[in-house]
Amino acid sequence: MKPQEEEKEVKEEAMVFELKRQLQDEDLDLEQRLRLLNTGLNKILNMAAVQTDSGVLTHVKAQLFLSGVLSHCLLILSREPRKLRGNWSAIATLAQLTSSCCVGVEPGRRSDTFHRLFLPSLMDSLLSLANELLRQEESVFRRLMDSVVRLLRAHPGLTAQVLSSAHYEQIQMCDDVSVSLLCVQLWIQTCSARRDFVSGLSDDTLMLLLNEAVAQLAVSPDASVGGASIRLILLLANQQEQRVRPLLLSFRGLDSLLDKDWRGRGFDEDVDQLITLIQSDRGGRSQSQEESERVRAACVIQAAWRSFQIRRRVKSLNRAVSALQRRYRARRRQQQQQREAQRWEEELKYQVCVRRQQARRRFHQKQRQLLQLLPAEQVQPYLQECERRAAVVIQSSWRGFRERRLYNTHRHTLTHSHTRTRAARTLQRAVRNFLQKRRAAKAPPIPPFWIGQRGLTDSRRVELKRQVEEHISLHPSSRASSQECTRLHEEVQLLILTELQRGEQQRREEQRMEALLAHTHTQLELLRDAPPLGVVTATDAESFLSPSGPVAARACDSHNAMLQASRLPWWRTLGDATNASVDRFSPSHLQELEAELGGLFVGGQQTL
């Protein structure tokens, strides 16, 4: 390779990694990702296509797959169609570019993943989008089918998947003639592009392809669809005549259908050629084949008769047949679900592998950027520190594993030992109880010593009583007597009463001070708001000379206080009952209030 081509190849690889780095931005929405992928892939493929060396384009496509750019394309194409509305043209362009990148690619060590996981997923996504856009966007539908044709030309192994796909079956069942013609032309273009395409197909896949062509002949009345189906069958027969002829014999009445329905449509020559091919194969069969056909027919007749007898015999066993059918359908459904789950599991493993590789690359890129920022003399210590930390992590993991294993072994040993100890204790306890009961049964009964004991006379009782009294006198009790407790209780009650009276007196002084301050403030406010002397009336002068206003305010406050005290629960008034009856309405207190305010209605009594 020339130096200039090597430089261009390196430049293209740099563009691939730059595109991958831009796609890793999580802030990009769907439209921005589509625009970025279409622009980047188109630019990279165009630059690689103009090179004189064809290996450059192959290398670039391989780099696109290995770097994960094609995986981003697959993720976008695999989204639900309702999330892609409004971007159909960009989606079709992305599908064409992705299919172009999958043609002629050599993934190398990841070839198995590419052919077994990536290509089937991409084909399924394209067919799903084509089925969704079948009646909405005809131009986009055709571009998607062109991408499918491109993939089939490059990878014939996908033919079986396309023919057995549920999305492709829905496309075939469309009533539009143009869609049916497009499906038949798809296979004609695919078979014409490569001479070895049919040879690479299995007999089952080839039979599915013939079934599609014959179904179009039997269902579609359009001449263009019928002519294309006949050309497809002839093309398959020309490429693999020895394999196609026996398969055509399984379609009984095909020659009669061609002669009756498709003559005079403008392609009689193709019809005659296909009829000749079918009938010549029937006439050229040997005697042994005819015998085998007779034997097969006899087997079919016998099987039909036996099945009739069996059905008549088990006619009363509808429940068993229904249960058998349910089980068979359930098993078939379960197998299908298992296949789907296995497929999704493989897809998930593939995605996990890709994301893990992406995360590892991001980590290495970030580490390389950090190393570039460090001074040269600090690079080696930093790498040594990284190695030391890695060694510490490995050692801690190994020690933890070893200690957990030792702990599990030791715990098992301790559990076994504890079980044995408990069993031994249970046995010993049972033996001791048994021996104790046995000894108690053999020993003579002991009479109680406190009832009817011999030798206890009146003199002995007097002596014992005297000893007890001496002991009590020498060791007096530390507890106080009942008289002492009563005296202490009375002293405490007197102290509490004195403290309560002192507190009540202080509160009364505070209330008197607050009343005087309020009265002073009221007088000051009245003086401040008083009119000038020139306009003072007798009523205004009376309001300043009479204390009726403050007296009424004080009476109102006292009345409200009494109402609030009467609404209190009984347990809130226990401490204030005595003081209130003695001090609050005592004559001395009332005389003080009279001297202070000159006559007041206090506590329900009239004082003048």
Q: Where are the beta strands (DSSP E) in 28-172?
A: none
**Least-confidence region, from 163-167, 195-199, 325-329, 401-405:** 195-199
Tokens encoding 296: 């097969």
Is the model's pLDDT at 479 over the cut of 50?
yes
Is the model's pLDDT at 577 over the cut of 50?
no
Higher per-residue confidence, 437 vs 221: 437
Structural Rg of the chain based on CA atoms: 55
Residue 432 confidence class, pLDDT cut points 50, 70, 90: very high
pLDDT digits (tens, 9 = 90+) for 504-525: 888 888 888 887 888 788 778 8
pLDDT digits (tens, 9 = 90+) for 236-245: 777 776 777 7
Pairwise CA distance, residues 295 & 303, whole Å: 12
**Least-confidence region, from 8-22, 64-78, 263-277:** 8-22
Q: Give the pLDDT of residue 342.
A: 92
> Which amino acid makes up residue 452?
G
Q: Give the pLDDT of residue 605.
A: 42
Q: Which of 553, 562, 568, 575 is nearest to 603 (CA)?
A: 562
Q: 46-60: b or e for each residue (b if 16 or more CB lie within 10 Å)?
A: ebbeebeeeebbebb
174 burial via Cβ count (<10 Å: 0-12, 13-18, 19+): middle
Is the model's pLDDT at 3 over the cut of 80?
no
Is the model's pLDDT at 581 over the cut of 50?
no
Is the model's pLDDT at 62 over the cut of 70?
yes
Contact 129, 95 (CB under 8 A): yes
3-state percent breakdown (helix, strand, coil) of the chain, nearest 5? 80, 0, 20
Average pLDDT of the residues in 280-305 = 72
Q: What percent of the chain has pLDDT over 90?
A: 11
pLDDT digits (tens, 9 = 90+) for 132-180: 776 666 677 777 777 777 777 777 777 777 777 777 777 777 767 777 7
Residue 47 confidence class, pLDDT cut points 50, 70, 90: confident
Higher per-residue confidence, 306 vs 158: 306
Residue 576 confidence class, pLDDT cut points 50, 70, 90: low
pTM score? 0.42
Tokens encoding 330: 């359930």
Contact 152, 159 (CB under 8 A): yes
Cα–Cα distances in Å, from 163 out to 74, 95, 123, 170, 348?
Answer: 21, 20, 11, 11, 25
Q: Give the pLDDT of residue 350.
A: 92
SS3 495: helix
Cβ-proximal residues to 568 (8 Å cutoff; 6+ apart), any chain: none
> Which amino acid makes up residue 427?
L
Phi, psi of 602 (to 5 degrees): -125, 125
Q: Give the pLDDT of residue 431.
A: 94
Contact 55, 90 (CB under 8 A): no
Q: Give the pLDDT of residue 226.
A: 77
Average pLDDT in the chain: 76
Residue 603 confidence class, pLDDT cut points 50, 70, 90: very low
Contact 259, 227 (CB under 8 A): no
Higher per-residue confidence, 419 vs 80: 419
Is the model's pLDDT at 220 over the cut of 80?
no
Q: Please count the other Cβ atoms lying within 10 Å of the Cβ belonging to residue 217.
A: 20
Q: Give the pLDDT of residue 604.
A: 40
SS3 185: helix
